Amino acid sequence: MAVLHNRVSQKELKERLYQETEPRTTISFYQYHHILNPQEFRDELYKGLDPLKVFGRIYVAEEGINAQVSVPQSDYEAFKNFLYSYNFLTGIRLNIAVDDDGKSFWVLKIKVREKIVADGIEDPGFSMERKGKYVNAQQMNQLLQDEDTIVVDMRNHYEYEVGHFVKAIEVASDTFREQLPMAVALLKDKKDKNIIMYCTGGIRCEKASAYMLHNGFNNVFHLEGGIINYAKEVKENKLDSRFVGKNFVFDNRLGERITEDVIAKCHQCGKPADTHTNCNNDSCHLLFIQCNECSKKYDACCTPQCQAVYNLPLEEQRKLREGKQNGIMVFNKSKQRLRPKLNESAFVLQDPEI
């Protein structure tokens, strides 16, 4: 019987990745589509993608598929042909990463989930059949010139902090499930305005647009392919980018630069900076923004206390961690406090909304 999951240690897999000489391409895609047997479909995907040396994470649910992967360039066509062999994935848009060194993932993980985007929606009448109108980069720029257009960022606070569209409204929250009712309440008196929802790759804003229509809004749009596809179209068509700064991504890169603007600040010294990092202290792993100077000063740790722990012998560090639950912690500047993200990994490799 074929092994349908990885059995090699994370350390060895990372070493193998950095020894590779062939370039890789980082790709994201999603599709809302009813999948009758998610587990069976998950296993088929693994059998088809593992031989192509595809790395990344893929979530499968009854409502569809959500994937962020890296593919060796020589296997790209085979990868695409395999996806297109499924009718509901034929011709699907593949978002190619803008700022990519090919080292975004080092293992293939395919998991069955309740939903491909955790939305908290319990209304049985809600459906993805009716959703907002797609807009491309040129249409987005045109709509942004209209003073009555409302642009809503459907990403988390730490994503918005390093880059966003001009005029964009931040729905300040840590999770997508919190944002949906917040967006409805925030715009309840503007149901006849043009409302554009956007996110990283399109999956969140597409669902958000359907939710807004479900709640009585009339003129709802969503950015096709999200920021990733917008940046690609801007470059190809030589358009002015109305997105400024960095696009946060949920892989080893933690961000891809869209424009040279640095709109965020170092959380330690306040200097302009937009590089996210995870605290080097294995008992912490706080996700925060740190400039190069502070990274050197604090050994890439978030506080002098964590720096002191980081510089202890490894055995002493292990003793300090014994019995402690360690999940992702995110510095929330808007709330001036730390919020725990109870994920299975201590490093940001999994979208915390899923």
Q: Residue 133: is its pLDDT beyond 60? A: yes
Tell whether 185 and 286 lie within a shared domain: no
Tell whether 147 and 238 lie within a shared domain: yes
Tell whether 214 and 171 lie within a shared domain: yes
Q: β-pairing, 219-223 with 243-247?
A: unpaired
In a domain, 257, yes or no: no
Tens-digit pLDDT profile for residues 174-220: 789 999 999 999 999 999 899 999 998 889 999 999 999 999 999 99
Tens-digit pLDDT profile for residues 291-306: 999 999 999 999 999 9
Cβ-based neighbour number of residue 119 at 10 Å? 20
Q: Which residues are marked as active site?
A: 199
Three-class DSSP category at 319: helix
Tell whether 239 and 140 lie within a shared domain: yes
Q: What is the DSSP string of 143-190?
A: HHTSTT-EEEE-S-HHHHHHEEETTPEE---S-HHHHHHHHHHHTTT-
Closest C-alpha to 232, from 201, 193, 263: 201
Domain endpoint, select from 83, 112, 141:
112
Tell whether 289 and 233 lie within a shared domain: no
Q: Residue 339: is its pLDDT beyond 60? A: no
Tell me if 285 sits within 8 A of 326, measured CB to CB.
yes
Closest C-alpha to 244, from 255, 235, 257, 225: 257
Burial class (CB in 10 A: 0-12, 13-18, 19+), 336: exposed
Q: What is the DSSP string of 195-228?
A: EEEE-SSSHHHHHHHHHHHHTT-SEEEEETTHHH
**pTM recorded for the entire structure:** 0.77
In a domain, 118, yes or no: no
Q: Can you give the residue range of the structural domain that contains 99?
A: 10-112
Query: In Å, how far from its chain's centre is CA 302?
Result: 23
The CATH number linked to 152 is 3.40.250.10
Count up the domains in the chain and report the number. 3
Tell whether 283 and 222 lie within a shared domain: no
257 contacts: CB under 8 Å, gap ≥ 6: 98, 99, 246, 247
339 phi/psi in degrees, rounded to 5: -120, 125
Tell whether 77 and 150 lie within a shared domain: no
Tell whether 308 and 274 lie within a shared domain: yes
pLDDT at site 18: 54
